[in-house]
């Protein structure tokens, strides 16, 4: 899962980025609204964490920019303003959720999971697909009830594919999900992770759609 963090405060930004990376998210961090808007032109994010008080454009102006273009990306506002009217304005401007600083990182992570679940149209907090179960909260994967040990990247890859069984994701889309701007990507990194996942789960769980990408097949 790839997040865009929009936060001008250096200390808060750095600690949020590190914390979210520890939860397994890929995080791109920008410090103003203009940079946030350009980032969304080139990268597809799973969610945006948006500060309101930013230099130049306010967070609410960037939010309006995305919603006017009908960009459905889930947006969680993080701000020091705790006036009720600000919260209402943010939600009515198209935000999906709201946290007032200072907040607990575990709560932020839980709210993000809820947002991503709603976006995927899922009511069940577990992702269940036949004999395979993935828990986004604990990062546990089970096959026939038995735990499967996956690396962070393998987990992220499987998570992306399991969100949309039967829909192939290209190598580029998968790289976008796994790697942020500042990370070096080996030319066959995705293939290597797919190979290991197949070895750990069994090769039938991930299908190569020639010339298109990879998918978890729909259940028969």
Our CB check for Ca ion shows the closer of 10 and 219 to be: 10
Nearest distance, CB of residue 69 and Ca ion, angstroms: 24
Residue 73 near residue 101, CB atoms below 8 Å: no
Our CB check for Ca ion shows the closer of 31 and 177 to be: 31
Our CB check for Ca ion shows the closer of 54 and 161 to be: 54
> Cα–Cα distance between 198 and 206 in angstroms, integer?
7
Of 45-53, 85-93, 114-122, 169-177, the segment contacting Ca ion by CB under 5 A is 45-53
Nearest distance, CB of residue 46 and Ca ion, angstroms: 23
- What are phi and psi for residue 217, nearest 5 degrees? -65, 150
> Cα–Cα distance between 50 and 45 in angstroms, integer?
13
Task: Please compute, for residue 148, the number of CA atoms within 13 A of its CA located in the half-sphere on the CB side.
Answer: 22
Nearest distance, CB of residue 54 and Ca ion, angstroms: 6
Helix locations, the chain, DSSP H: 10-22, 33-42, 59-68, 84-92, 105-119, 152-163, 171-178, 189-201
Which parts of 47-106 interact with Ca ion (CB under 5 A)?
51, 53
> Cα–Cα distance between 129 and 164 in angstroms, integer?
10
Nearest distance, CB of residue 101 and Ca ion, angstroms: 9
Count, residues near Ca ion per rule CB under 5 A: 3
Nearest distance, CB of residue 216 and Ca ion, angstroms: 40
Our CB check for Ca ion shows the closer of 5 and 150 to be: 5
Our CB check for Ca ion shows the closer of 78 and 156 to be: 78
Binding site for Ca ion (CB under 5 A): 8, 51, 53
């Amino acid at each position: 899962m790839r997040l865009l963090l929009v936060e001008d405060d250096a200390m808060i930004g750095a600690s949020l980025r590190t914390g979210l990376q520890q939860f397994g998210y890929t995080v791109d961090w920008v410090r103003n609204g203009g940079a946030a808007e350009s980032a969304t032109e080139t990268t597809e994010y799973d969610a945006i964490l948006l500060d309101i008080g930013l230099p130049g454009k306010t967070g609410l102006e960037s939010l309006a920019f995305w919603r006017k273009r009908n960009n459905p990306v889930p947006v969680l506002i993080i701000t020091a303003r705790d006036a009720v009217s600000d919260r209402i304005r943010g939600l009515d401007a198209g935000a999906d959720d709201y946290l007032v600083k200072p907040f607990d990182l575990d709560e932020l992570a839980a709210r993000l999971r809820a947002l991503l679940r709603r976006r995927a149209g899922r009511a069940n907090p577990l992702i269940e697909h036949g004999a395979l179960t993935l828990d986004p909260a604990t990062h546990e994967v089970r096959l026939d009830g038995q735990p499967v040990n996956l690396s962070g990247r393998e987990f992220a890859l499987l998570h992306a594919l399991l969100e949309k069984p039967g829909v192939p994701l290209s190598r580029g889309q998968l790289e976008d999900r796994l790697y942020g701007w500042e990370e070096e990507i080996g030319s066959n990194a995705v293939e290597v992770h797919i190979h290991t996942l197949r070895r750990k789960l069994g090769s039938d769980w991930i299908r190569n759609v020639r010339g298109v990408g990879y998918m978890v097949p729909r259940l028969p």
